[in-house]
Amino acid sequence: MILGKSFDLRRVFAGSGRVSDTPVTDVSFAVIDSETTGLDPLQDRILSLGGLKIKDNRIKVSETLELFLAQDHFDARSVPIHGIMREGPNKRISEKEALVQLRDYVGDAILVGHHIGFDLEMIRRAQQRHQLPYFTNIALDTGLLYRKTLLKSPLVPKKQHYSLDELAEKYNISCKDRHTALGDAYITALAFLQILSQLQEKRDLTLKALIRMGT
In a domain, 137, yes or no: yes
Residues whose CB is less than 8 angstroms from the CB of residue 61 and which lie 6 or more positions away in sequence, other chains included: 52
More confident: 207 or 79: 207
pLDDT beyond 70 at 18: no
Average pLDDT over residues 85-92: 66
Residues whose CB is less than 8 angstroms from the CB of residue 89 and which lie 6 or more positions away in sequence, other chains included: none
Q: SS3 helix, strand, coil % of the chain, rounded to 5?
A: 40, 20, 40
Nearest Cα residue to 108 out of 138, 67, 142: 138
In a domain, 6, yes or no: no
In a domain, 126, yes or no: yes
Q: What's the predicted TM-score (pTM) here?
A: 0.86
Query: What's the pLDDT at 72?
Result: 74
pLDDT beyond 90 at 102: yes
More confident: 176 or 2: 176
pLDDT beyond 60 at 85: no
Looking at the structure of the chain, the number of domains it has is: 1
Query: What's the pLDDT at 1?
Result: 45
Average pLDDT over residues 39-65: 95
Q: What is the residue-averaged pLDDT of the chain?
A: 86
Average pLDDT over residues 133-157: 92
Buried b (16+ CB within 10 A) or exposed e, 172-202: ebeeeebbbbbbbbbbbbbbbbbbbeebeee
In a domain, 13, yes or no: no
In a domain, 3, yes or no: no
pLDDT beyond 90 at 27: yes
Domain carrying residue 193: 19-214
At 181-198, the pLDDT tens digits run 999 999 999 999 999 999
pLDDT beyond 60 at 12: no
In a domain, 109, yes or no: yes
The CATH number linked to 107 is 3.30.420.10
